[in-house]
Chain A
Amino acid sequence: MHTEALSALGDLFGDRLRTSLETRICYSFGATRKTFLPDAVVYPVNAEEVRRTVLLANLHRFPVVPRGAGSGFSGGSLPVRGGVVLSTERMDRIVSIDTENLYAIVEPGVVNGTLKEEARKKGLFYPPDPASLKFSTLGGNIAECAGGMCAVKYGVTRDYVLALEAVLGTGELIRTGVATVKGVVGYDLTRMLVGSEGTLGIVTRATLRLIPLPEAATTLLALFDGNRRSVEAVNAIVAARVTPSAMELMDRTAIDCVQALMPVPLPEGTGSALLLEVDGPEGQVVREADLLTEVCRAHGALEVRRASDAGGRDELWKLRRSISPSLLRVAPVKLNEDIVVPRSRLADMFAFLSDLSARKNVRIVNFGHAGDGNIHVNIMISGEDADETRRADEAVGEVFRKTVEMGGTISGEHGVGISKAPFLEMEVGPLGVAVMKRLKECFDPNGILNPGKIFLEESAVRE
């Protein structure tokens, strides 16, 4: 970056502009194990500073990469073309929670779990629950349209974003949407920004819908001999017209992984597990939990465990929560994909993955949100064996092709970022890509915002 640009940023940010190598290193990573050094890091505290940063970027032509907690899985916050990392971590106020109209106004750096907790104190509920909810920021959640466990019942981030304030790539500050549930005036620019991965605008304030906090919840852990039966149970539950707030499936690969490192006692022959949760009014929760137990038993569950108190529920979640941490102990590198297939194709997809693992001779660990067809496919490799890495890359390609063939999507909640950019066209087609590029042109004509993401080409700031 030019010294002129840096000195202008210095005038704007004072000691909240950092250019030391040490700070730059600390903003060179996300949760992907890839690193790219930015030229500088700024910590704005209000929308005006964000706006002026982007104006300077247009003047001096440097990239601006917005970053929340840097916990993304697709590289969304990585400064792949250098430039300035704009960290939202000091814009972390919950501006207000409106208990009459049921919404919250937040700055982008507020952590998801913090809003959940503050809403809970007022008897309200902000449902989106990515696994990173304790540390990921709402700005990042909006940029990536984060999903989570409860998507099967409550939907994903986009279903809770009513209105946004954002700085476009031009440096203009736009307000989109309204704080009411209904609103159809003009194009839906709010939804345009949600999931745009920081390439169209930088969210500086968001109005998020809240719902009444469910009165009670019950967790069930159903253990099966294999995926075939557990997937059948999932479909039977849906057919029984019950919508659990979580339907997590762990296949044999994931169970083995956990058992090797932090064993949870399970019945002999367990080859698949379903973690189910129902929430709502007390009486309904009991009825639904009874029904789920019945359905699971009817589909050959070896055992169904159940808990309604916090401690017991926590114990049942242990198996599911232990998967991710145990993965890194299996192999140092994981290619972490988050495909979605129509629910009715889940069993076929699991069978395909099992065959693929054998054909390519790579270890694949599968688990995920069975209720909405979202599977986390983790291809585990050493990272030091070139042939293994090649086979793993081929496997990823095959998984994506199969997913699209089944009418699914190659990313349910992680986003495209850099990791799925080569596969964008495979899913959305050439016209889809072309229209997206035209939209990008309109929001960010100079390619300032987060260059190098989503699209393979046109990934640099225009001179």
Chain B
Amino acid sequence: MNDPDLKALTGLCAKCGTCRTVCTLYPERKAEIAVARGKIALIEAAMGGEDGDAEAVQEALTDCLLCGRCERACPNQVLVEEIVMKGRADLAEEVGIPAWKRVLFGKVMTSPAATGIARKAAAAAQRLLPGKIPTASGLNYRFPDGLGGEGRTVPKLPAAGFLESLGNAEAATGEVMLFVGCVFDHVFPEVGRAAYETVKASGKSVAVFRDAACCGLPAMVSGDRRSAAECAEANVRRLRDADPGAIVFPCGSCLLMFKRNVFSLMPKGSPGYDDAVFVAERAVDYASFLLSSGVLDRIPDPPPGQEVGEIGYHDPCHLSGTLGKGPEARKVLSRTVGPAFAEMAGADLCCGYGGTFNVRDYPTSSRIGENKVTVAARGGTKVISTACSGCVLQMRDMAARTDPGLRVVHVAELVHQALFRK
């Protein structure tokens, strides 16, 4: 491990301990190795030639949700997410990337066709799952224990993805581009559809980005920078070719990738840099687009009958935290559902998903997530709305496990309902 960038980044950490107060994982682990300054100390030791066990260091770096709370609290503004991702990548070169991730990131996620095939296979396999749990947000299957976590439930996969449901000529070109993202295309196509139709309600012509490779974030956080860069390069090139005026992201994590992380993979001077800048300048979160496009003016006053304060908003770490787009979603909700929206208890608590973290340590991920939805429900929230695919996946699972009456939706679904209700 000897990355000059990494050295400069870690050098700013004064080991003061502020990160301990905000770390999502620290209350679970109660050990220094879980928090940012511990991880930074490990990277510094490795760079200093300390002859440690690369696998153990990788294990420590992987034990992180990348929620970014430490980074935002840090008095020295140490870029913890970048450090952890870079560290994982450096170590991946030494210890390799687990085989399942290699296939997924390198082969499946870089290809739009392959992700569709993978979903179909998974949807077929799901019919074999034993337990069904009807929840307020749709049907969930109980996942067999021993295969990825005790008590896990998974949403019923649809027969067709959102993109497949579009006609060939439909939403092919337009001044606004919608970047749906893998999850809102394949797992929750109703979210993709709601986002599409509500963005279209702006009166602008809307194209749906069809050649999308995965945004690349899952590969990047796993230290597979090559696959991540392949995804990112392909995406920004194709997006620039389409030349949209704005690119709307219903998913905060995808947005983070194009607003910020892409520049770690394609820094100034690299071949696709201009394309990445083009995309970053036009990339916008779903709520901000709605606020600027006049869609909200077309929403009739909220219908009576909704309970005051029953709808809450969950802050996705990347969207509200790193990108600072928390107020926008709240404005959209206030306009959409009126007094039914109220600030939710524990709104900014991380849902515990952390992308691949959820796969690697489901028990911890689900403890954090169950706490998240329980705090919200106890505070009187009946519908949790949010704007990130990972958060929707996680909180629907957590609701199915603890309180199937608790609904988890994307903000776009609420806007869609308000705009098009009969």
Contacts and interface: CB of A to CB of B under 8 A. Distances in A.
Nearest to B11: A332
Contacts of A30: 15
A23 interface: yes
A325 B32 contact: no
B50 interface: yes
A28 interface: yes
A31 B41 contact: no
Interface class of chain A by DSSP: loop
B57 interface: yes
A70 B32 contact: yes
A26 B50 CA distance: 13
Contacts of A87: 31-32
Given A22-B53, A22-B56, A69 B17 contact: yes
A22 B31 contact: no
A21 B53 contact: yes
Nearest to B73: A134
A322 to B, nearest CB: 9
A132 interface: yes
B359 interface: no
B50 A21 contact: yes
A121 to B, nearest CB: 16
B12 interface: yes
Interface string B193-210: 000000000000000000
B83 to A, nearest CB: 15
B57 A23 contact: no
A20 B60 CA distance: 12
Given A25-B42, A328-B76, A31 B16 contact: yes
Contact of B16 (A132, A329, A332): A132
A199 interface: no
Interface string A19-57: 011110111111101010000000100000000000000
Interface in A63-120: 69-71, 87, 89-90, 92, 111, 113
Contact of A135 (B14, B21, B30): B21
Contacts of B12: 328
Contacts of A43: 30-31
B327 interface: no
A284 interface: no
Given A22-B60, A135-B20, A135-B21, A33 B30 contact: no
B303 interface: no
B52 interface: yes
B31 A33 contact: no
A89 B20 CA distance: 11
Contacts of A7: none
B75 A324 contact: yes
A92 B52 CA distance: 31
A219 interface: no
B92 interface: no
Interface string A390-405: 0000000000000000
A31 B15 contact: yes
A136 interface: yes
Contact of A21 (B11, B32, B52): B52
A71 B19 CA distance: 11
Contacts of A325: 75-77
A29 B41 contact: yes
Interface string B18-39: 1011000000001111000110
A302 to B, nearest CB: 28
Contacts of B31: 18, 23, 26, 43, 87, 89
Contacts, number: 78
B45 interface: yes
Nearest to B16: A31
Interface string A337-366: 000000000000000000000000000000
Nearest to A134: B21
B74 to A, nearest CB: 8
A258 B45 CA distance: 31
Nearest to A109: B30
Nearest to B56: A22
Contacts of A89: 30-31
Nearest to B60: A22
B14 A31 contact: yes
B15 A26 contact: no
Contacts of A27: 32
Contact of A22 (B14, B18, B33, B76): B33
Contacts of A20: 53, 56
Nearest to A322: B75
B168 to A, nearest CB: 54
Contacts of B16: 31, 71, 132, 135
A459 to B, nearest CB: 23
Interface string B51-77: 011001100100000000000000111
Among A87, A111, A134, the one with the most B-chain Cβ atoms within 10 Å of its Cβ is A134
B57 A22 contact: yes
B186 to A, nearest CB: 38
Contacts of A328: 12, 14, 76
A135 B17 contact: yes
Interface string B372-383: 000000000000
Nearest to B45: A25
Contacts of A134: 18, 21
Contacts of B50: 21, 25
30 contacts: A18-B31, A20-B56, A21-B50, A21-B53, A22-B33, A22-B57, A22-B60, A23-B32, A25-B42, A25-B52, A26-B31, A26-B41, A29-B15, A29-B41, A31-B14, A31-B16, A33-B14, A33-B15, A70-B17, A70-B32, A71-B17, A89-B30, A92-B30, A113-B21, A132-B17, A135-B17, A135-B20, A135-B21, A325-B76, A332-B11
Given A26-B41, A135-B20, 7 more contacts: A22-B56, A30-B15, A71-B17, A89-B30, A132-B16, A135-B21, A325-B76
Interface of B: 11-12, 14-18, 20-21, 30-33, 37-38, 41-42, 45, 50, 52-53, 56-57, 60, 75-77
Q: Give me the 7 closest cross-chain CB pairs, A-B, nearest first.
A: A325-B75, A26-B38, A26-B32, A71-B17, A135-B17, A26-B33, A134-B21
